[in-house]
Each structure stands twice: as C-alpha cells, then as structure tokens.
Amino acid sequence: MAENDSLGREYWPRIADSVLDRALRRSGAVQIVGAKWCGKTATARCRAKSAVFLQDPDERTALLALAETKPSLLLEGEEPRLIDEWQEAPQLWDAVRFEVDRGHGRGRFILTGSATPKKRPQHSGVGRILRMHMRPMSLFESRESEGLVSLRALFEGEELHGGILSADIEDIAFALCRGGWPEAVLEKDREIALELAKDYVEELLGSDIDELGDRKRNATWLRAILRSYARNVSTEASQATIAADMQLEPPSDKTVADYLDALRRTYVTEDLPAWNPALRSKTAVRTSPTRHFCDPSIAVAMLGASPKKLLRDFGTFGLLFESLCVRDLRVYAAALRGSVYHYRDKTGLEADAVVVLDDGRWGAVEVKLGERQVEEGAAHLLKLANRVDVEKEGSPSFLMVLTGQTTAYRRPDGVYVVPITALAP
C-alpha cells in the first residue's frame, strides 16, 4: 500500500526506511547521500518532525546568510529535524556535529545531499554523524519483483521454493530504460516515464553542471565522458580507455580525472570495487572496479537506447542488465548490513557480484540475461567457491545465477537460478 509523506504526497515504502530507522536509533545524526531524484528527501520527510530546505528559492538567500552568521539557529525545531541539501552551507555539518556532541539523545538530525562538497567541513563527523547511502528504487520497491526469493533467507540457509514469474524480458527492458527514479515509477503513462531518465541527464548537463564541484565545466566534455562511460558500463575500463572512447579530442588526463571525480561525488556514478578474498593458491586478484552508474537508465539515455532497441541488441542489453542487477543487490544488501563487490582474477575467473555481510558471510552471483548462459555462470561460481580458502573466508552461503528469465529453481549442483524479478531483500 502507498503511504503519504509529511506533505500528504503519495509515497511508496522504501527499503531505506528501515535502514534509516536503524541508523537513527544508533546515532545522533544521519547523513543520507545519493543521486538527485532517488528519493532521499521524501524518505527523510516521512521520518522528520521539522525541516529546513536550503534550496527553497523563496528562502535560500536568507537561509544561507543565517548559516554563515549563526548556523545553530537553523537547527532549532522539533526532532528529528531534516536539513535538506546541507552541502549548500557546509558549515552546518560542524554545527550538527557540535550539537550532537552536547548530547540529548539519538536520532536528532537527518542531513540529505546529492553531492559531496570539495571543501570539507572542519570535522569529519565520525562517531557522531552516521552515513547512509540511498539509491534509486529496486525492482522490489517498484513492485516489479514478486519477491519470491529473499536474499536474507539465502544467507540464513533457507530452502528456495521455486516458481514461475509473470514478468518477461520485455518488462525488464522497460524497467531498465525507465530506471528506479520514484517520479518515473509513479508515472502511469509509460512513454512519459521513459522520458524522465532522459530529463535527468539533460538536467545534469544543464543547470546541475555548475554544482559538480567548485568550478564551471564544459558540457561537451561531460556529455562525451558520460557517453563513453555508458559504452563501458559493467566493464573494468580504465580512465585511459574512457578518455580514448570519448570520440573527440580528449582533454588532459587531469581534466578527465576531475570530471570522473565530480560524477562520483554527485553519486551519478558508483563503481563496484573488487573483492580480495583469501585463496587456496597464489592466484593474483585483479583490483580494478567495474564501471556503473547509480541507475542503468542513465546509460540508456546516453546511448539513445529504448526497450525495443535493447531487445534487438542483446549484447548491450546484457551489460545494462548486469548493471540493473548490481543496483538491486546493493539496495538489498544495505538492508542486511552488507556490501557488494565483484571478483576477477588473472586466470579470467570472475563473479559479477559478491555480497559480503558485516559478519563475514558471503554469497557469489553471476548475471546471465538468457537461460542458455546459466550453465556457464554456474560453472564459474562453483570454480570460485573451490578457489576461496574457506578456512579463512568461510563457505559461501549461496551461489546464484541472476537471470532475465521467468523460472526460479535450485540446480542439482546447489546453484540457485533466480530471475531478478523474483529477488527481494
């Protein structure tokens, strides 16, 4: 059932709701980070009892002036108090930290922001301000996954109950192109929903470009870098590869690095780090991250793709589908106090995703869009499980091939085959 936020607007429950509740019980303040449009403010509003919005055009000038002269006044109000887009006045960070230091309990402030300022606050906030990363909606949150298979249950060793899903490959193509942006998910007109991800990219290239750090940037270069990133999504492409693939005379290495850093600090991109487990042999593990946007719909927009085009180009569809699965695994893992990595060693053995919980339990995932690739994915996973030193890392809680198909089942070798439209936290 849909809920309403504090302003009475429709709000679909998010997995981040429970993560935020848990964080507020642990800390005096919680910082919610993530890309614009992913729903940070709406989620925070549902928990906050008062708020200040630093990007409110009617009050922005006065609020920023007050933040310069006496920031503590902006903290006054019923708690938890929401401070939206706090990075507009970075001094508020230190004010919140000081106020939390004074005591008076937990769950007092929620800070939201869609960028990490280059000019850091004077104090880090470690131990006072808990950081929570929020991402666009997963398929379970957008009600396009039936939730037949729980990631939590797999970690707890529960038996998988197989089943046949109603969503097909065309539904996945649409969901991928539309993205997990709440406004698009709630839009009933499918054509308008598809346009919203394109609007996001144009906004990024337009008015948002000046917010990507501390100086004005070249929109032509930014567009070229984003397009190159999209062509290299779900790969370990180096910065040099991205620059060479810009299809124009690339700027200097330093400039490319600066643009990539700006995209990271605004949470537009979110690369997947490498997992470096203890192995039975001395096989060298590659440490390069795989390239991902916070939502694969950004790559779709930059490539000029559409559901119909993806269904005719399964090579591109497969790479974007992998990025979709990584997005959802990250959302689900956060609810379990876990993180997601990828694995690849010098022999070429790989796992597209490895979910590692804070208590050390882990599970490996291969992403295969079609059923014909499942056998290959399962073989990779079994080989990886045999290569990891289980005395140091423990045995895997599960091995899973995530697919774009409609049937969930457990293979005789123990590997789970799960449609992404069946997965839940």
Residue 249: CB atoms within 10 A of its CB come to: 7
Q: What is the pTM of this model?
A: 0.93
Determine phi and psi for 52, rounding to 5 degrees.
Answer: -130, 130
Angstrom CA distances, 365 to 49, 123, 329, 350, stand at 40, 39, 10, 10
Q: What's the chain's length in residues?
A: 425
Amino acid 201: pLDDT:
85
Let me know how many helices (H) and strands (E) the chain has, helices first: 16, 16
Residue type, 277: P
Amino acid 20: pLDDT:
97
Amino acid 248: pLDDT:
83
Angstrom CA distances, 45 to 48, 113, 164, stand at 5, 13, 37
CATH number among 3.40.50.1980, 3.30.360.10, 3.40.50.300, 3.20.20.80, domain 3-133: 3.40.50.300
Could you list the mean pLDDT of each consecutive 10-residue stretch along the chain, which spans 425 residues?
55 96 96 94 96 92 93 94 92 92 88 72 62 97 96 93 89 97 95 92 74 72 94 96 88 91 92 94 88 97 96 97 98 98 94 97 97 94 96 96 96 97 97
Residues in contact with 377: Cβ distance below 8 Å, sequence separation at least 6, in sequence order: 366, 367, 368, 401
Amino acid 124: pLDDT:
46
Contacts 24+ apart (CB under 8 A), 197-203: 197/295, 197/297, 197/298, 197/300, 197/301, 198/301, 200/36, 200/37, 200/297, 200/298, 200/301, 201/226, 201/298, 201/301, 201/302, 203/36
Token pair 């059923």 is found at 371
Delimiting residues of CATH 3.40.50.300 domain(s) in the chain: 3-133
Residue type, 408: A
- CA gap 4, 84 in Å, rounded: 19
- CA gap 279, 33 in Å, rounded: 34
Amino acid 117: pLDDT:
61
